[in-house]
Structure 1
Amino acid sequence: MHYLLSVELDQSEGPPSEEELERSFSRVGPVNDRMKEQGVWVFAGGLLPYDSATVVRVENGSTTMTDGPFVETKEQLAGFWVIEVDDLDAALAWAVTCAEACETPIEVRPFDGLA
């Protein structure tokens, strides 16, 4: 089964420093390597800050595009992994490893079976 492990980051505090990024990469790289070695890796990626997003809406046949999300929260999606594991317990175990590496919350969501 495929699971999305999404990295939730408090982006209200501004972007991380170069030192913080380097430290994060040094912790996340080995996690990525282990996922690949164990055959659970499907895809992963980091995202630019939320203010780089564009929201597309279609309502009553009319399309609107607005800059940035309009979400009442400090935490935003900052990156993700897509993994393929046998069950939720295995996905949660990887989420613990990812949360330790990223030092941020990780949301775990199963795909609907169509992935």
Structure 2
Amino acid sequence: MIRLKTVTADKLIFKKKFSMIEQFAIKDFLFKWVGRPAEGIDDFLPLEYTESVFAKMEAKQVTALHINKDEHFRYATISEDNQIVIGVVDSDKELIHKIISLDEVLIGKHL
């Protein structure tokens, strides 16, 4: 099970733009992170690249992807420090950012 570290947005600086490679890397990471769904990431979790305030791969619709029971996935982004950051909405409708440890990504603990 992957452990996500919760942080406040003021502790992070997000990239303003993503290259096509970064966009595909986030989609590939999410595909693996959610368990390689047979229908593919685009059908399971449709994402749209946006640059409002900062660059992110955002869920096109309110998603049923739950994280830690009462949190809903909203988007994935990359910090200026190249950390993968997941934005989720909690049960109180507050936006929370969770950092995925690079060590967990590199050694495959998220799979």
- TMscore range, shorter length: 0.3 to 0.5
The structure with higher relative contact order (CA 8 Å, sep 6+) is: 1
TM-score by length of structure 2 reads: 0.35
The structure in which a higher percent of residues are helix is 1
TM-score by length of structure 1 reads: 0.34
The structure in which a higher percent of residues are strand is 1
